[in-house]
Copies of this chain bind each other. A is one copy, B any other.
Amino acid sequence: MEIEAATVSKGRPREFCVDAALAAALRVFWSKGYEGASMADLTEAMGITKPSLYAAFGNKEALFNKALDLYEREKTDYMRAALDAPTARGVAERLMYGALDMYSCPENPNGCLGVISSVACGAEAECIREAVVARSATAKQAMLERFTRAKDEGDFPDDVDPAGLAAFLTAMNQGMAVQAGAGATRAELERLVETGLKLWPGR
Mark A residues whose CB is within 8 Å of B.
32-33, 35-36, 111, 115-116, 118-123, 129, 133, 136, 159-161, 163-165, 167-168, 170-179, 181-183, 188, 191-192, 194-196, 198-201
Contacts and interface: CB of A to CB of B under 8 A. Distances in A.
24 contacts: A32-B122, A33-B120, A33-B122, A35-B120, A115-B119, A116-B119, A116-B120, A118-B182, A119-B119, A119-B178, A129-B182, A160-B198, A161-B195, A164-B194, A165-B195, A168-B192, A168-B199, A170-B175, A171-B171, A171-B178, A172-B175, A175-B175, A178-B178, A199-B200
B179 A171 contact: yes
Nearest to A32: B122
Contacts of A188: 167
A179 B167 contact: yes
Given A168-B199, A192-B167, A182 B32 contact: no
Contacts of A171: 171-172, 174-176, 178-179, 192, 196
Closest 9 CB pairs of A and B: A171-B175, A120-B120, A164-B195, A199-B199, A36-B122, A167-B192, A174-B175, A174-B178, A175-B175
Taken together, the copies of this chain in the complex come to 2
Nearest to A188: B167
A164 B182 contact: no
B196 A168 contact: yes
Given A133-B183, A160-B199, A164-B198, 19 more contacts: A33-B122, A35-B120, A115-B119, A115-B178, A116-B120, A118-B181, A119-B178, A133-B182, A160-B198, A165-B195, A168-B196, A168-B199, A171-B175, A172-B172, A174-B178, A175-B175, A178-B178, A199-B199, A199-B201
